[in-house]
Amino acid sequence: MTDPEENAPASSPLAPGEIGLVTARDFTCPHPFTFKSGQVLPAFTLRYETYGELSATRDNCVLICHALSGDHHCAGVHALEDRKPGWWNNLIGPGKAVDTTRFFVVCANVLGGCVGSSGPSSLDPATGRPFGIGFPFVTILDMVRAQKLLLDHLGVATVHAVIGGSMGGMQALQFAIEFPHFTRRVLAMATTARESAQAIAFNEVGRQAIMQDPDWNRGDYAKGGGPRVGLAIARMMAHITYVSDASMDRKFGRRKTNPGNGEAYTFDVQFEVESYLRHQGQSFINRFDANSYLYITRALDQFDLASAYGSLEAAFAPVQAETLVVGFTSDWLFPPEQNRQIALALLRAGKRASYAELTTDLGHDSFLLESEELYTLVRAFLERTAAPIADFSI
Amino acid sequence: MTDPEENAPASSPLAPGEIGLVTARDFTCPHPFTFKSGQVLPAFTLRYETYGELSATRDNCVLICHALSGDHHCAGVHALEDRKPGWWNNLIGPGKAVDTTRFFVVCANVLGGCVGSSGPSSLDPATGRPFGIGFPFVTILDMVRAQKLLLDHLGVATVHAVIGGSMGGMQALQFAIEFPHFTRRVLAMATTARESAQAIAFNEVGRQAIMQDPDWNRGDYAKGGGPRVGLAIARMMAHITYVSDASMDRKFGRRKTNPGNGEAYTFDVQFEVESYLRHQGQSFINRFDANSYLYITRALDQFDLASAYGSLEAAFAPVQAETLVVGFTSDWLFPPEQNRQIALALLRAGKRASYAELTTDLGHDSFLLESEELYTLVRAFLERTAAPIADFSI
DSSP string across A43-76: -EEEEEEEES---TTS--EEEEE--TT--S--SS
Q: Is the pLDDT reported for residue A134 higher than 70? A: yes
Helix (H) or strand (E) holding A374: helix A372-383
Q: Kindly determine whether residue B197 and residue A265, on different chains, have CB atoms separated by under 8 Å.
A: no
Q: Is A61 exposed, middle or buried (0-12, 13-18, 19+ CB in 10 A)?
A: buried
- Chain B residues with CB-CB distance to A212 below 8 A: 229, 232-233
B241 part of a folded domain: no
- Which one of A37, A213, A265, A307 would you mutate to disrupt binding with B, by most B Cβ within 10 Å of its Cβ? A265
Length of chain B: 394
Q: Kindly determine whether residue A236 and residue B208, on different chains, have CB atoms separated by under 8 Å.
A: yes
pLDDT at residue A393, as a whole number? 38
Phi, psi of A95 (to 5 degrees): 80, -5
Amino acid sitting at position B123: L
- Chain B residues with CB-CB distance to A249 below 8 A: 196-198
Alpha-carbon gap: B148 to the closest alpha carbon of chain A (Å): 23
Q: Kindly determine whether residue A274 and residue B201, on different chains, have CB atoms separated by under 8 Å.
A: yes
Q: Kindly determine whether residue B263 and residue A205, on different chains, have CB atoms separated by under 8 Å.
A: no
A379 part of a folded domain: no
Task: Count CA within 13 A, CB hemisphere, residue B81.
Answer: 0
Which of A150 and A384 is assigned the larger pLDDT? Answer: A150
Helix (H) or strand (E) holding A164: strand A159-165
A253 part of a folded domain: yes
Here the CATH number for the domain that contains residue B62 is 3.40.50.1820
Rounded Cα distance between B194 and B8, Å, is 31
Q: Is the pLDDT reported for residue A26 higher than 60? A: yes
Q: Kindly determine whether residue A240 and residue B201, on different chains, have CB atoms separated by under 8 Å.
A: yes
Which of A143 and B385 is assigned the larger pLDDT? Answer: A143
Rounded Cα distance between A328 and A364, Å, is 7
Q: Kindly determine whether residue A195 and residue B254, on different chains, have CB atoms separated by under 8 Å.
A: yes
Q: Is the pLDDT reported for residue A189 higher than 80? A: yes
By residue range, what is the domain housing residue B353?
4-195+304-383
- Chain B residues with CB-CB distance to A251 below 8 A: 197
Rounded Cα distance between A178 and A142, Å, is 11
B98: β partners: B92
Rounded Cα distance between B77 and B8, Å, is 11
Compare all CA atoms of chain A with the CA of B276 and give the residue at the minimum distance.
A201
B67 part of a folded domain: yes
B356 part of a folded domain: yes
> Average pLDDT in the A46-53 region?
98
Here the CATH number for the domain that contains residue A272 is 1.10.1740.110
> Average pLDDT in the A78-93 region?
94
First to last CA, chain A: 35
B258 part of a folded domain: no
Smallest Cβ–Cβ distance between A245 and the set B198, B236, B278 belongs to B198
Amino acid sitting at position B293: Y
Give yes or no for a contact between B171 and B68, defined as CB atoms under 8 angstroms apart.
Answer: no
pLDDT at residue B393, as a whole number? 38
Question: 3-state secondary structure string, chain B?
Answer: CCCHHHHCCCCCCCCCCCCCECCCEEEEECCCEECCCCCEECCEEEEEEEECCCCCCCCCEEEEECCCCCCCCCCCECCCCCCCCCCCCCCEECCCCEECCCCEEEEECCCCCCCCCCCCCCEECCCCEECHHHCCCCCHHHHHHHHHHHHHHCCCCCEEEEEEECHHHHHHHHHHHHCHHHECEEEEECCCCECCHHHHHHHHHHHHHHHCCHHHHHHCCCCCCCCHHHHHHHHHHHHHHHCCHHHHHHHCCCCECCHHHCCCCCCCCCEHHHHHHHHHHHHHHCCCCHHHHHHHHHHHHHCEHHHHHCCHHHHHCCCCCEEEEEEECCCCCCCHHHHHHHHHHHHHCCCCEEEEEECCCCCHHHHHCCCHHHHHHHHHHHHCCCCCCCCCCC
Cα angle A123, A125, A126 (rounded to 5 degrees) comes to 120
Phi, psi of A302 (to 5 degrees): -80, -15
Strands (DSSP E) contained in A183-244 are: 185-189
Compare all CA atoms of chain A with the CA of B296 and give the residue at the minimum distance.
A267
> Average pLDDT in the A328-338 region?
98
Smallest Cβ–Cβ distance between B233 and the set A200, A233, A301 belongs to A233
- Chain B residues with CB-CB distance to A236 below 8 A: 201, 204-205, 208
Q: Is the pLDDT reported for residue A256 higher than 60? A: yes
Length of chain A: 394
Strands (DSSP E) contained in A218-367 are: 322-328, 353-358
Given the residues B69, B117, B166, B371, select the one marked as catalytic: B166
- Chain B residues with CB-CB distance to A304 below 8 A: 254
- Of B189, B191, B233, which is closest to residue B209 (Cα–Cα)? B233
Smallest Cβ–Cβ distance between B254 and the set A194, A253, A274 belongs to A194
Rounded Cα distance between B67 and B2, Å, is 10
Q: Kindly determine whether residue B271 and residue A197, on different chains, have CB atoms separated by under 8 Å.
A: yes
Q: Kindly determine whether residue A209 and residue B207, on different chains, have CB atoms separated by under 8 Å.
A: no
Give yes or no for a contact between A370 and A359, defined as CB atoms under 8 angstroms apart.
Answer: no
DSSP-based three-state secondary structure for A356: strand
Compare all CA atoms of chain A with the CA of B297 and give the residue at the minimum distance.
A267
pLDDT at residue B392, as a whole number? 42
Distance of CA A286 to the CA centre of its chain: 19
- Chain A residues with CB-CB distance to B332 below 8 A: 245, 332
Smallest Cβ–Cβ distance between A301 and the set B248, B271, B301 belongs to B271
- Chain A residues with CB-CB distance to B133 below 8 A: 267
Q: Kindly determine whether residue A197 and residue B274, on different chains, have CB atoms separated by under 8 Å.
A: no
B223 part of a folded domain: no
- Of B170, B48, B187, which is closest to residue B106 (Cα–Cα)? B48
Give yes or no for a contact between B177 and B306, defined as CB atoms under 8 angstroms apart.
Answer: no
pLDDT at residue A262, as a whole number? 66
Amino acid sitting at position B111: L
> Average pLDDT in the A167-195 region?
98
Provide CB contacts within 8 A for B384, sequence distance 6+.
none
Provide CB contacts within 8 A for A99, sequence distance 6+.
A52, A93, A379, A382
pLDDT at residue A259, as a whole number? 75
Q: Kindly determine whether residue A205 and residue B254, on different chains, have CB atoms separated by under 8 Å.
A: no
Task: Report the percentage of chain A scoring pLDDT > 70.
Answer: 93
DSSP-based three-state secondary structure for A42: coil
pLDDT less than 70: residues of chain B: 1-14, 261-262, 386-394
Smallest Cβ–Cβ distance between A205 and the set B133, B237, B265 belongs to B237
Which of B235 and A9 is assigned the larger pLDDT? Answer: B235
User: A167-177 in b/e burial notation, b at 16+ Cβ within 10 A?
Assistant: bbbbbbbbbbb
Alpha-carbon gap: B389 to the closest alpha carbon of chain A (Å): 33
Residues of A labelled as active-site residues = 166, 331, 364
Q: Is the pLDDT reported for residue A15 higher than 80? A: no
Q: Are strands B185-189 and A44-51 parallel, antiparallel or unpaired?
A: unpaired
Given the residues B73, B331, B365, B371, select the one marked as catalytic: B331
Smallest Cβ–Cβ distance between B240 and the set A36, A201, A253 belongs to A201
Compare all CA atoms of chain B with the CA of A333 and give the residue at the minimum distance.
B245
Alpha-carbon gap: A3 to the closest alpha carbon of chain B (Å): 17
- Which one of B267, B300, B307 would you mutate to disrupt binding with A, by most A Cβ within 10 Å of its Cβ? B267
Rounded Cα distance between B304 and B200, Å, is 12
Neighbours of A334 (CB within 10 A): 26
Give yes or no for a contact between B142 and B43, defined as CB atoms under 8 angstroms apart.
Answer: no
> Average pLDDT in the A281-301 region?
97
Q: Kindly determine whether residue B281 and residue A198, on different chains, have CB atoms separated by under 8 Å.
A: no
Give yes or no for a contact between B137 and B185, defined as CB atoms under 8 angstroms apart.
Answer: no
Neighbours of B218 (CB within 10 A): 9
Q: Kindly determine whether residue A273 and residue B37, on different chains, have CB atoms separated by under 8 Å.
A: no
How many separate domains does chain A show? 1
Question: Could you write out the DSSP letters of every residue in A234-247?
Answer: HHHHHHHHHS-HHH
Rounded Cα distance between A130 and A219, Å, is 9
Give yes or no for a contact between B212 and B189, defined as CB atoms under 8 angstroms apart.
Answer: no
> Average pLDDT in the A107-115 region?
98
pLDDT at residue A389, as a whole number? 61
- Chain B residues with CB-CB distance to A207 below 8 A: 267
Q: Are strands B185-189 and B159-165 parallel, antiparallel or unpaired?
A: parallel
Q: Kindly determine whether residue B204 and residue A245, on different chains, have CB atoms separated by under 8 Å.
A: no
Phi, psi of A186 (to 5 degrees): -125, 130
Q: Kindly determine whether residue A245 and residue B196, on different chains, have CB atoms separated by under 8 Å.
A: yes
Smallest Cβ–Cβ distance between B273 and the set A133, A197, A208 belongs to A197
Question: What separation in angstroms does the CA of B369 have from each of A52, B96, B365?
Answer: 58, 14, 7
Is residue B364 annotated as part of the catalytic site, yes or no?
yes
Q: Kindly determine whether residue B205 and residue A237, on different chains, have CB atoms separated by under 8 Å.
A: yes
DSSP A324: E
Smallest Cβ–Cβ distance between B271 and the set A200, A237, A271 belongs to A200
B284 part of a folded domain: no
- Chain B residues with CB-CB distance to A220 below 8 A: none
Q: Is the pLDDT reported for residue A113 higher than 70? A: yes
Rounded Cα distance between A155 and A59, Å, is 10
